[in-house]
């Protein structure tokens, strides 16, 4: 299937690893030109043909400066993928005390998981409108099942869903399609890496990290029996970005392996 993405210019945030890196690879495979951003590059990202632009999107002016730098090189922009997310939140006491984080901790998580997408989208909209392009925001199943992740992260992703749906109608009238993809438990460094969420949980519970990771699909109720590969999420992103999907506006596509039990 020709997704009509060859020659399109795409900006992917949070692109150094995990879902972001998979999204970069998927667009490149479709013949798109990709600008990838993160605080730091990785050998895996450097091995692709993407152009890397470093940026701290959690800062107040980071998203605007990023978009300005990208457009200064080439004023075309067809697709923006707001994937940057995560943060320094850790699960200590999150079930017993959801307010274990102070105001600064909450603000930090919202800055990266919500505000960065809002600011990058605002800055990119004129170029995207000219191109009649697309925005895809990467959400999380924890936005609908907030007990499965630290509360600040779940709340920020829920707000991202509202932002996506709220902006989609107005932007759609201007020719820009805005959608979201909601992954379930995905095999990313944020979740299963040595410094990820599961590693912190394993240390707190005094259990083996690998054992805890192996049991995650069952714990999450995933009927697929395995964590999601980031490439699956990337395929959903690429399809939502394609001009062949003109009626996908304000959608939130869930890819969760049966984890989410409600419609």
- Sort strands 177-183 and 252-255 into parallel, antiparallel or unpaired: parallel
Strand segments (E) across 51-97: 51-54, 79-82
Q: Tokens at residue 30, please? A: 């479709």
Q: What is the C-alpha separation between 94 and 38, in angstroms, rounded?
A: 28
Q: Tokens at residue 46, please? A: 């450097």
Strand segments (E) across 16-151: 33-38, 51-54, 79-82, 134-138
Q: What is the C-alpha separation between 152 and 247, in angstroms, rounded?
A: 32
Q: Is 175 exposed, middle or buried (0-12, 13-18, 19+ CB in 10 A)?
A: middle
- Name the residue among 197, 257, 201 with its Cα closest to residue 229: 257
Helix (H, G, I), strand (E, B) or coil at 226: coil
Instruction: Provide the residue count of the chain.
Output: 263
Active site residue 153: yes
Catalytic one among 106, 110, 153, 163? 153
Q: Which residues of 244-263 are buried (b: 16+ CB within 10 A; e: fewer)?
A: ebeebbbbbbbbbbebbeee
Q: What is the C-alpha separation between 12 and 213, in angstroms, rounded?
A: 28
| Alpha carbons within 13 A on the beta-carbon side of 243 | 15
Positions marked catalytic = 153
């Amino acid at each position: 299937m020709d997704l009509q993405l060859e020659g399109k210019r795409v900006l992917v945030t949070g692109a150094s690893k995990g879902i972001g890196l998979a999204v970069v690879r998927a667009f490149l495979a479709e013949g798109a030109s990709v600008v990838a951003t993160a605080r730091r590059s990785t050998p895996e990202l450097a091995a692709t043909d993407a152009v890397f632009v470093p940026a701290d999107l959690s800062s107040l002016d980071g998203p605007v400066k990023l978009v300005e730098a990208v457009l200064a090189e080439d004023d075309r922009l067809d697709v923006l993928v707001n994937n940057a997310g995560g943060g320094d939140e850790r699960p200590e006491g999150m079930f017993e005390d959801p307010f274990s984080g102070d105001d600064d901790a909450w603000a930090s998580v919202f800055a990266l998981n919500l505000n960065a997408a809002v600011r990058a989208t605002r800055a990119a909209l004129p170029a995207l409108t000219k191109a009649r392009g697309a925005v895809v925001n990467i959400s999380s199943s924890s936005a609908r099942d907030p007990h499965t992740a630290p509360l600040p992260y779940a709340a920020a992703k829920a707000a991202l869903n509202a932002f996506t749906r709220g902006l989609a109608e107005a932007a759609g009238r201007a020719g820009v399609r805005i959608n979201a993809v909601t992954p379930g438990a995905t095999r990313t460094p944020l979740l299963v890496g040595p410094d990820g969420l599961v590693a912190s949980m394993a240390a707190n519970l005094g259990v083996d990290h690998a054992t805890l990771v192996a049991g995650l699909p069952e714990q999450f109720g995933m009927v697929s029996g395995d964590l999601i590969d980031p490439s699956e999420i990337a395929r959903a992103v690429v399809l939502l970005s394609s001009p062949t999907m003109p009626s996908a506006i304000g959608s939130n596509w869930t890819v969760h392996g049966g984890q989410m039990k409600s419609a």
